[in-house]
Amino acid sequence: MQIDVFTLFPHWFDWFRGQRHVANALALGSQLHCVDYRVHTPLRAGQVDDTPFGGGAGMVLRVDVVEAALRARYGDDPVTVRERRRVIALTPGGRVLDDSWVEQLAAQAELTLLCGRYEGFDERILDHFCSDRLSIGRYVIAGGELAAMVVCDAVLRKLPGALGHEDSAHEESYSAALDGAPEYPHYTRPAEWRGWTVPDVLLSGHHARIRAWRAQQSRERAERSGGASLP
């Protein structure tokens, strides 16, 4: 998989590239490339943003700057880029990311992520250059970079070999294997600590009963969280 991240802070991703499952995915052939809006801006003094028409606080990422960066990377008119690869804007008002969307993104050969900063994007960037608007949750963070890392983390760990253990991304919270429910509880040694014990069934060695117990726990967790994670 080939992921391009458009950002004002490409060096933030140096740390991210070193994280084990990301490093594994990259070693297995995936690529994570950053494009710095500032390097490609047609404006003077590295300007990338401007004050909003109509007034208001903050600065807005300019459409001409984003167009220049997309053109520099893809070589043609950015309005056509979204026809051949998903171009996703990270924005708090977008569709909230969930496991099934992550699965879909992990099946793409190429992805483009656009990070916003300050007050966000000039709306024409979203309307004309992007195929999707993605939010990592209904709260606002200072820019799209951490959101882009969340997307890359969630997507890259789905790729074969990224986790080192093939099953670990299969039966986990919100996966189809658990019918979209949260994962069941885990325990490890010691079997007793300060009088806190591990459920007997997990020590029984009885695989069918363990499976049934885990499925039941997972369902109960879904119900306790208001059923919000069930389809």
Q: Closest approach of Cβ 166 to ligand ADE, in Å?
A: 30
Tally of CA atoms within 13 A in the half-sphere of 221 that contains its CB: 17
In whole angstroms, give the CA distance from residue 91 to residue 2: 21
Q: Closest approach of Cβ 24 to ligand ADE, in Å?
A: 25
Question: Is 86 buried (19+), middle (13-18) or exposed (0-12) by CB count in 10 A?
Answer: middle
Asked if 144 interacts with ligand ADE (CB under 6 A), we say yes
Q: Which is nearer to ligand ADE, 70 or 115 (CB)?
A: 115
- Residue 196: φ, ψ to 5°: -85, 120
From candidates 41, 91, 112, 218, binder to ligand ADE by CB under 6 A: 91
| DSSP three-state, residue 90 | strand
In whole angstroms, give the CA distance from residue 81 to residue 88: 11
From candidates 72, 79, 107, 141, binder to ligand ADE by CB under 6 A: 141
Q: Using CB under 6 A, which of the segments 64-72, 85-93, 196-204, 219-227 binds ligand ADE? A: 85-93
Q: What residues numbered 103-122 form the site for ligand ADE, per CB under 6 A?
A: 116
- Helix then strand then coil, in percent of the chain rounded to 5, is 40, 20, 40
> 30: how many CB neighbours lie within 10 A of its CB?
18
From candidates 3, 37, 41, 92, binder to ligand ADE by CB under 6 A: 92
Asked if 149 interacts with ligand ADE (CB under 6 A), we say no
Q: Using CB under 6 A, which of the segments 8-16, 45-53, 140-148, 214-222 binds ligand ADE? A: 140-148
> Which of 176, 169, 172 is closest to 186 using CA atoms?
172
- Paired tokens of 53: 């028409």
| DSSP character at residue 163 | S
Q: Which is nearer to ligand ADE, 91 or 175 (CB)?
A: 91
Q: Closest approach of Cβ 231 to ligand ADE, in Å?
A: 23
Q: Which is nearer to ligand ADE, 121 or 213 (CB)?
A: 121
Q: Using CB under 6 A, which of the segments 19-27, 40-48, 136-144, 152-160 binds ligand ADE? A: 136-144
- Contact residues toward ligand ADE (CB under 6 A) are 90-92, 116, 135-137, 139-141, 144, 147
